[in-house]
Amino acid sequence: MTSILIVDDDPGHRSMLETLLAGWGYAITSAGDGAEAVENIAAGPFDAVLMDVRMAGMDGLTALKKIMELNSAIPVIIMTAYGSVDTAVQALKTGAFDYLLKPLDFELLRHTLDQALEHTRLRAENLDLKKALGTGDGFASIVGKSEAMRDCVALASQVAPSEATVLITGESGTGKELIARAIHAESPRAPEPFIAVNCAALPDSLLESELFGHEKGAFTGAEKARAGRFIAADGGTLFLDEVGEMALPVQAKLLRVIQEGEVSRLGSDKPVAVDVRMLAATNRDLSADVREGRFREDLFYRLNVVAVHVPPLRDRRGDIPLLASHFLERYAARNKKTVKGFTPEAMDRMSRYGWPGNVRELENAVERAVVLATAEYVDAPQLPPEVAHAGETSECAPEADGAATLDDVERSTILRTLRETDGNKSEAARRLGITRATLHKKLKRYGES
């Protein structure tokens, strides 16, 4: 059972809390003052502490400092009948999770306890997961406990110490580069460079120069020689992101470098030997591209020695609370805001949403919510509109197998927004963050125009 330590020098109030919290299903231990509370914390673990401030003997703030020294991970909720801003600020600065005033609002007390225990649970799960999956800093940085993500990380960690070329597949925003960096970090090449190239971000002519380098005067604008990414990655790892976007002529040159272990700069016939481990990623079906002649079959087999698939967020919904809390902690610190977590409604909406942009979209949504948050907990209105309204009607509810299709989620979101704007397509497009023309195309696609 979840164990709560109640600290209050008022026997009547302490007894009332014991009865109330025991009725909520908690295992209760009581202490009559701060010194006794510290002794209890030192003697055994507790999931949370509910402690008065004004007490005979050791007061609550002094006890709080000592408890934080013993175990800063225990959420301590301070309560007092002597409410003041100074006391609240002092308690929070010392490490209290939250601050409640007597007489207690029991509904608020239960909500605060739930939030404190959820925060502790997510923190513990994250630490356990990192210990279970990570043998170093690489895979320890990956957040997730779902079976799909565990399988992905297990395979990636197994292949990391080898020299095998790895093809990382998955939709945009799933974290393919994070997996690639973890593989490098857990490999013998970790002390050497990790060089990433986004093949979709550069025109073919520039991509060729970026990868292989060029001599001065090799082409118009080549005012000085350039080593290229293969040479920069010598001894380390070269990661080709969105490799499926590479043009066929560049694919042919890449295949030769992989086969021969040497690269020739543009404008030079002198090859340079390179020792590079290749990792590649794509959101395309390369086997289909091979059949349709858009991707070289021989290069595909060179890259696809081991295939690691990163699952979309809709297939790992159990990771949403962990990821959301991870991002909240990051952006709260970055924006110097005291945001402790999410309300149950906000977390429910995030869990129901389809996340077509995957983890990248979730991260952006949490950053936005943190910036807009005006209280200690992010509520649904601070989330992007499409997320904030997820699950409000049966149209948005997950299907029986636990996940609606992306088309279902998008269609229901568009139709709901149109109802909310009384059919005003310009306003609906504005709320959805798309142009009116895009909205018209989507409605036509779903037969709703």
Q: Is the pLDDT of residue 304 over 60?
A: yes
Sheet (strand 3-7) strand order = 27-31, 3-7, 48-52, 76-80, 98-101
Whether residue 4 contacts residue 44, with contact meaning beta carbons closer than 8 Å, is answered with: no
Residues of the chain above pLDDT 90, percent = 46
User: Would you call the peptide bond into 75 cis, given omega within 30 degrees of 0 as the criterion?
Assistant: no
Average pLDDT, the chain: 84
Each residue's pLDDT tens digit, 180-233: 999 999 999 998 989 999 998 888 778 888 888 867 766 656 666 677 888 888
Q: Residue 325 has what pLDDT?
A: 92
Domains of the chain: 3-132 (3.40.50.2300), 144-309 (3.40.50.300), 314-389 (1.10.8.60), 406-446 (1.10.10.60)
Sheet (strand 194-198) strand order = 194-198, 237-241, 277-282, 166-169, 306-309
CA dihedral angle for residue 363, residue 366, residue 372, residue 378, rounded to 10 degrees:
-170
Residue 12 vs residue 219, higher pLDDT: 12
C-alpha separations of 280 from 167, 240, 309 in Å:
5, 5, 12
Q: Residue 21 has what pLDDT?
A: 93
Query: Among 103-107, 222-226, 393-397, 423-427, which range has the highest average pLDDT?
Result: 103-107
Task: State the pLDDT confidence band at 15, using cuts at 50, 70 and 90.
Answer: very high
C-alpha separations of 288 from 68, 204, 223, 254, 271 in Å:
57, 22, 40, 20, 33
Q: Which of helix, strand or coil describes residue 102?
A: coil
Residue 436 vs residue 182, higher pLDDT: 182
In angstroms, rounded to a whole number, what is the distance separating the alpha carbons of residues 263 and 271? 5
Question: Which token pair is 284?
Answer: 């395309």
The closest of 337, 327, 334, 391 to 358, measured between CA atoms, is 327
Of the ranges 17-26, 149-158, 269-278, 394-403, which one carries the lowest mean pLDDT score? 394-403
Question: Which token pair is 39?
Answer: 């002794």
Angle at 350 between CA 126 and CA 391, to 5 degrees: 145
Give the mean model confidence (pLDDT) for residues 272-294: 93
The amino acid sitting at 388 is A
The amino acid sitting at 56 is A
Query: Among 79-88, 221-230, 292-301, which range has the highest average pLDDT?
Result: 292-301
Q: Residue 196 has what pLDDT?
A: 92
Whether residue 267 contacts residue 227, with contact meaning beta carbons closer than 8 Å, is answered with: no
Residue 433 vs residue 183, higher pLDDT: 183
Paired residues of 278 in beta bridges:
238
Whether residue 407 contacts residue 440, with contact meaning beta carbons closer than 8 Å, is answered with: no
Each residue's pLDDT tens digit, 350-363: 988 999 999 999 99
Q: Is the pLDDT of residue 176 over 90?
A: yes
Q: Residue 401 has what pLDDT?
A: 44
Q: Which of helix, strand or coil describes residue 299?
A: helix
Q: Residue 133 has what pLDDT?
A: 43
Q: Residue 155 has what pLDDT?
A: 95
Whether residue 234 contacts residue 263, with contact meaning beta carbons closer than 8 Å, is answered with: no
Q: Residue 175 has what pLDDT?
A: 93
The strand pair at 194-198 and 277-282 is best described as unpaired
Q: Is the pLDDT of residue 130 over 50?
A: no
Q: Residue 125 has what pLDDT?
A: 60
In angstroms, rounded to a whole number, what is the distance separating the alpha carbons of residues 55 and 33? 6
- Which phi and psi (to 5°) does residue 80 adopt? -160, 150
Residue 97 vs residue 49, higher pLDDT: 49
The pTM score is: 0.59
In angstroms, rounded to a whole number, what is the distance separating the alpha carbons of residues 181 and 238? 10
The closest of 240, 246, 233, 238 to 281, measured between CA atoms, is 240
E strand or H helix at 382: none
| CA 155 to mean position of chain CA atoms | 20
DSSP string, 179-212: HHHHHHHTSTTTTS-EEEEETTSS-HHHHHHHHH
Q: Is the pLDDT of residue 384 over 60?
A: yes
Tokens 């093949």 locate to 199
**Contacts for 268 with CB less than 8 Å, ≥ 6 apart:** 215, 218
3-state helix, strand, coil in the chain (%, to 5): 50, 15, 35
Q: Residue 423 has what pLDDT?
A: 75
Task: State the pLDDT confidence band at 267, using cuts at 50, 70 and 90.
Answer: low
